[in-house]
Amino acid sequence: MQDIRNMPIGIQDFEIMRTASYVYVDKTQFIPELEIVGRAYFLTRPRRFGKSLFISTLQAYFEGRKELFKGLAIEKFKTEAKSEWQSYPVLKLDLNAQEYTKKEHLTTVLDDHIDKWKKVYSIQFKANNSCSAFAKLIEALYKKFNQRVVILVDEYDKPLIASIENEELNNSYRSMLKAFYSVIKSLNGYIHLSFLTGVTKFSKVSIFSDLNNLMDISFDKEYSAICGITEEELESNFKVEIKDLADNYNKTYSEMLDILRTKYDGYRFSEKEERIYNPFSLFNVFAKEKLGDYWFETGTPTFMVHLFEQKDFILPDLERNIRLSMRDMNDYRLNYSYLTPLLFQAGYLTIKDYDREENVYILGYPNDEVKYAFLYSLMAVYIDGKSLSQGEFRIGLFKEAMQKGDIDKVLTLIKALMASIPYDTLPEDKLFLREQNYQTTIYLIFSLMGEYVRTEVHSSLGRSDVEVETKEAIYIFEFKVGGKSQDAISQIKEAGYAEKYSASNKSIFLIGASINRNKRTLGKWLIEKL
C-alpha cells in the first residue's frame, strides 16, 4: 500500500493547495480563454463542486502570483505565448460565510468586505451605502494602480437561498444585490474581468437585469469540465488511490473504476458527451479508503425538504425521462411545479441526454450516491421519526426478504411501515394526495432495496405499480387503494404486464394487494406464480 496523499477535503484556498502538498487537479487551462473571450462571466455548479477553489485560483492568477502556478497548464501557456505575468487589483466577495436571517446581515457582509478592501489597498473615502462605496472603490483602484479591476464573487446566491422561505427578507436581499451588481455594468470600463459563481440561476428575480453583458458559461461545452473531475483527470491524477481502493475491496482496477463511475460519475453540464465526477465525494473516498455517501452528508437544503413535505410532487417521476428546455432549466420559482429545475441546479438531477429536434434536455439522477441518499433522506417526509430511525435496518430486512423470495414478509414489512405515515387532515378535493403518498412510500421502499426496480412500468394496455427483478425471479406488484387484491391480480393478467418476461427463464410472481383507506395501510394480498 502506498502512502496516502493529502486530499483537499474542504480546501478552497489555491495558495494552501499549492504550498501544503495537497493533490491538485489542474484547471488553469481555462484561464486564458476566459481572459481573451470576455469580461463578465457567470457559472452555476452544485455545492461542493470546486467553485470556490476556482475563484481562489483566479484570484491568485490575477494578483500575478506566478510562483503558485509552477508546472501547471497556465505556466506552459504563458511560456509558449511569450506572455508576461501581470497583476491587477482584485476584489473577491465571498457571500458564503453568513446565516442571512436578518436584513442587516447582508449589509454587514458587504460593508465588511469594502472596509477590508480599503485597508488592503490603502484607500480612503466616504460613502452613503454599500453600492456607492463599491463604485468609489473600483474607480479609486483604477486610478491608483492604472490597471483595470478584477471582481470575483463566490456563492452570489447564498443570501437568496438562505432566505427563500421568508418572502419579505428574500425581496430585500434581491433588491440589495441587484443594486450592488449593477455597479459592475455601470463601471465596465474600469473592470478587466468579473466572475460570479453560485448554485442557482434566479432568472425570474432579475438580479442581473442591469448586468446584461454577463456571459453565462454554465452550459457551454467549452467549460463543462471547469469544475469537477473528468474520467481522464481521475485516471491521470489518482491511479495509485484507485489501485489501493481496489485492493481494499478485493476488486481489480477495472472493476473499482466501474464502481466509482456508478457511484460518483454522471454529472453533465452541456450537450457535450462529457461526464463529470463529484470531486468532494472522490476526495473523501481516497482519503478514507472507503466508499460512502459523502456529498449527501453535507446536508440537504431545508427549504427543499419543505417543498417535498407539501406532498404534491410525484417522486417516481424523477425516474422517468424528464424533459426540460433550456429556458425551463434556468427558471426558478418556489413551488412544486418548478421543483425539477431547482433539483437540476442543485445537483440532484443532471443532463442525461439532449434531443436536438425538440431542443430539450432529458434529466435524471447523476449517480447512485445521489439517488439513494436522496431517496433515503426523503423517507422522513412520508413516515414518522421513530420509523425513520429504524429505516436502515428495515430496508435491510426488506432486501433480505426479497432476495429469499419471501413476499409475505416483504408485504408484512410494508404494512407496518405504511401504518407509520402521519395522519393527515386533507380536504375532500385533496384526497388524491393521500393515495399518492401511499404510492410514493412503496416506491421509496423498493428503490432503497438497491435491486433492479421499476415503478409504474408501461405495458401496451396499462402500467404496473412496481416490477422487481432479482437473480432468480420477477415480481410484479399491483396495489389497489380501496379495491380488492383479486382485482389487482386480474389487472396484471388482463393488461399483460408479465408478457415481456416470458423469455427470461425466471420464475414470475404476480402480487395483488389492497390498501385499506380506513386503516391507512395494506389490507389483504394474493400471490400467484405463473
First to last CA, the chain: 52
Q: What is the pLDDT of residue 341?
A: 77
Q: Which residue did the predictor score with more confidence, 322 or 452?
A: 322
Residue of 283, 118, 77, 98 whose CA lies nearest to 173: 98
Mean pLDDT over 83-103 rounds to: 91
Extract the C-alpha cell encoding 344: 437540476
Pairing of strands 473-481, 507-516: parallel
CA 160 – CA 179 distance, rounded (Å): 14
Q: Assess contact for 494 and 487: CB atoms under 8 A.
A: no
Looking at the DSSP bridge assignments, the partners of residue 4 are none
Return d(Cα 166, Cα 187) in angstroms, integer.
32
pLDDT of residue 312: 57
Q: How confident is the model at residue 42 (pLDDT cuts 50, 70, 90)?
A: very high
Percent share of the chain, pLDDT over 90: 43
Helix, strand or coil, per DSSP, at residue 125? coil
Q: Are the C-beta atoms of 451 and 477 separated by less than 8 Å?
A: no
**How would residue 468 be classed by pLDDT, with cut points 50, 70 and 90?**
confident
What is each CA distance from 411 to 55, 224, 296, 342, 449, in whole angstroms? Answer: 52, 45, 30, 35, 14
The rounded distance, in Å, linking the Cα atoms of 195 and 52 is 11
Note the pLDDT of residue 39. Answer: 83
> For residue 523, which amino acid is it?
G
**What are the b/e assignments for 297-319, b being 16+ CB within 10 Å?**
eeebeeebeebbeebbbebbebb
The rounded percent of the chain whose pLDDT value lies above 70 is: 82
* 161-166 mean pLDDT: 82
Grid cell, residue 227, equals 469544475
How high is the pLDDT of residue 422? 56
208-231 confidence digits (pLDDT tens): 666 667 888 998 999 999 999 999
Residues 98-136: tens digit of each pLDDT:
789 999 999 999 999 999 999 999 999 989 899 999 999
CA distances from 454 to 345, 367, 445, 463 (A): 25, 16, 12, 11
The pLDDT value recorded for residue 374 is 82
Q: In this predicted structure, what is the pLDDT of residue 382?
A: 64
CA distance 327 to 325: 5
The number of angstroms, rounded, from the C-alpha of 28 to the middle of its chain's C-alpha atoms is 24
Q: Is the pLDDT of residue 164 over 70?
A: yes
Segment 299-343, tens digit of pLDDT: 566 666 666 665 556 666 676 668 888 777 765 554 445 677 778
Please state, rounded to an integer, the average pLDDT across all residues of the chain: 83
What mean pLDDT do residues 69-90 have? 95
In order of their start, the domains of the chain are: 26-223 (3.40.50), 229-297 (no CATH), 302-368 (no CATH), 383-529 (3.40.1350)
